[in-house]
Homo-oligomer: A and B are copies of this chain.
């Protein structure tokens, strides 16, 4: 058996950043920026008023000062002349500050009669001017790699970047294997169950930025599995579920090897998820996950999500962990790294009592995994443990 970190290193060796494509900005949210993008202009492109009020040519304004209003500047409508001493321009939020303008007196701080304004007694100190380039300047960059957020999309718009270089979606083909499996909506025999992992993993991979292709369930026969493997062609990564152990009916490794699989390992010292396989088959990376529903989902979180980050050009490594105190004690761990289904609430964490790797009801209630190192001793209430958010 190898450790989780050795297994993860081997998994990450399978991947490399995929190609760059350009997408319209309105489709860029959640995509991974692949190249630094530079602003094509200053923002604001001109000194602008931050308030509705009056622009004047002096910073030195006191109660009783009077100005003559000589025109108006609105957002999108520059006032083309220059403000002189004793003059003011009616100005609205976002409008370019006219030439000569130094300060904006907000409208609540003046009284206006016809074309004259008089400064009142409650004048604040602010100039209410946003300097040109105060947000960013032409040439300033948004740096890659970066998973784009709605705020990033707004920023790229204001930088006038209509098309964005992002990594294309890595393509993951998913094959569930086993004579016991029937697709949801089908009618299982009394010794069969419904295939669940493939749809759960597909959803997980899509959230992480992949295109997931769920292939037909493969029977436990070489011909069925070979047909499915041929359907996977062209994917960046093939993920098989089940059949990766060493039982007589676990034929994934055998068939894949007959098709040229270079296998990297078999067993990982972790719980759930001991049987795990990784290698290459016909130029395509392949990972064989265990068939227990919770095992396959946990291995997806622990191994495949970091690999997808690598395909997307993001920093890739073990999932981020935080430390939280326990609200219920834990028994001593075995010599396998244990990923316990758990609930984080109010800054604390507790593991579910039932940790069998077949229990999807427990996984669906979990919002976190507690990571127990091999040989971790029993832990009391209040002791900190390592937690991965789901």
Contact = CB atoms under 8 A, between A and B. Distances in A.
Contacts of A189: 76
A9 interface: no
Number of copies: 2
A192 interface: yes
Size band of the interface chain A makes with B:
35 or more
Given A29-B203, A196-B158, A200-B157, A358 B247 contact: no
A331 interface: no
Interface stretch (A42-50, A112-120, A227-235): A42-50
Interface stretch (A12-20, A144-152, A257-265, A372-380): A144-152
A101 B25 CA distance: 61
A92 interface: yes
Interface in A197-215: 197, 199-204, 206-207, 214
Contact of A194 (B52, B160, B363): B160
Given A190-B45, A196-B158, A247-B52, A150 B203 contact: yes
A5 to B, nearest CB: 22
Given A93-B247, A191-B46, A206-B29, A361 B76 contact: no
Contact of A134 (B136, B153, B180, B358): B358
B184 A150 contact: no
Contacts of A194: 41, 157-160
Nearest to A91: B247
A43 B193 contact: yes
A150 B153 CA distance: 26
Nearest to A219: B76
Contacts of A156: 184
Contacts of A45: 188, 190, 192-193
